[in-house]
C-alpha cells in the first residue's frame, strides 16, 4: 500500500516536472484537505499554498509557520468585507480582488499596521458574478484606481475561465488581455491562471502563477 506521503510526493513530482520548463510559481491548493497533508507537502519542498476560506487558511498557516520552514499563503476565495481583517492576518497574497470598496478597506487596515500585501485583480470573461471577477471594461479603471492604495502591491491579473467555455478560446482571450494589461501596467505583469484541468494550457498562454489542487491532493468531495 502506498502511504499518503508517497502519493503526494509522486503527484507533486509529476506536476513539477511538467511545469519545469516554464518555471511558474506553483501554488498548491490545499482547501478542504487536512493540515497533515500541508505538512507533508511543505516537507517535500512546496511552500506556496492556496486556500478559499479564511478560517481554514488562518489555522493551517499558523500551524505551518510555527514549524519553521518558509511558507507563503494565498487567499483565492470570495472576499467578504467583514472577513478582510482576518484574511490580512494570515494571507501573503490575495488572488481574488474584484471590488474597489474591498481594496479601500484592505488599504486602511494595512496602513494602520504599516504593512502591505500582494494582490491580483480577478478578471471575469463572462461577467458571471457568482464566480467573481471584473469584466474587461471595469478592469483597467480598477487597476488605475488601485494606484492610490499604497499598501497594495498589484502583481497582475487572475482568472478562472468559465467552465462552459472552450479552454483554447478562453485562454486566447486571457492572453490578449494580459498583454494589453502588462503594457498599460508594467509593474503588474503576472498572470495567475490555470488549475488542475488546464494548467498546461494556461502556461502556454503566459501564466506565471498556477493554482493546482486536486491533481496533487486528489478529488475533493466539496469545495
Ligand X SMILES: *Cc1c(COP(=O)(O)O)cnc(C)c1O
**Phi and psi, residue 165, nearest 5°:** -105, 135
| Residues present in the chain in total | 223
Residues that bind ligand X (CB under 6 A): 29, 31, 52, 76, 160, 195-197, 211-215, 223
Q: What's the CA gap between 142 and 140, in Å, rounded? A: 5
Please report, for residues 8, 57, 98, 148, 177, the alpha-carbon distance to residue 141 in angstroms, rounded to integers and kept in the order given: 42, 30, 12, 12, 14
CB of 148 to ligand X, least distance (A): 27
- For the bound state, the minimum distance from the C-beta of residue 64 to ligand X, rounded and expressed in Å, comes to 19
Residue 15: which of 221, 219, 217 has the closest Cα? 217
For ligand X, the closer CB: 29 or 174: 29
Q: How far is the CB of 171 from ligand X (least distance, A)?
A: 15
Which residue has the CB atom at the shortest distance from ligand X?
213
Distance separating alpha carbons of residues 99 and 4, to the nearest angstrom: 39
> Between residues 151 and 210, which has the closer beta carbon with respect to ligand X?
210
CB of 93 to ligand X, least distance (A): 13
Residue nearer to ligand X on the CB measure, 119 or 160: 160
| Cβ distance to ligand X smaller for residue 28 or 151 | 28
Amino acid at each position: 500500500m502506498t502511504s499518503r506521503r508517497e502519493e503526494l510526493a509522486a503527484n507533486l513530482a509529476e506536476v513539477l516536472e511538467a511545469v519545469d520548463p516554464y518555471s511558474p510559481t506553483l501554488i498548491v491548493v490545499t482547501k478542504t484537505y487536512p493540515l497533515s497533508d500541508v505538512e507533508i507537502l511543505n516537507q517535500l519542498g512546496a511552500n506556496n499554498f492556496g486556500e478559499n476560506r479564511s478560517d481554514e487558511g488562518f489555522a493551517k498557516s499558523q500551524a505551518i509557520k510555527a514549524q519553521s520552514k518558509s511558507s507563503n499563503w494565498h487567499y483565492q476565495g470570495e472576499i467578504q468585507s467583514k472577513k478582510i481583517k482576518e484574511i490580512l492576518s494570515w494571507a501573503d497574497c490575495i488572488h481574488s480582488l474584484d471590488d474597489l470598496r474591498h481594496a479601500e478597506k484592505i488599504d486602511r487596515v494595512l496602513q494602520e499596521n504599516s504593512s502591505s500585501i500582494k494582490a491580483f485583480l480577478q478578471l471575469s470573461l463572462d461577467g458571471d458574478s457568482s464566480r467573481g471577477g471584473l469584466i474587461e471594461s471595469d478592469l483597467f479603471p480598477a487597476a488605475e484606481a488601485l494606484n492610490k492604495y499604497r499598501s497594495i502591491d498589484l502583481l497582475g491579473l487572475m482568472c478562472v475561465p468559465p467552465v462552459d467555455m472552450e479552454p483554447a478560446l478562453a485562454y486566447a482571450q486571457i492572453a490578449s488581455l494580459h498583454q494589453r494589461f502588462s503594457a498599460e501596467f508594467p509593474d503588474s505583469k503576472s498572470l495567475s491562471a490555470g488549475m488542475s484541468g488546464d494548467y498546461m494550457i494556461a502556461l502556454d498562454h503566459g501564466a506565471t502563477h498556477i493554482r493546482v489542487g486536486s491533481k496533487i491532493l486528489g478529488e475533493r468531495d466539496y469545495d
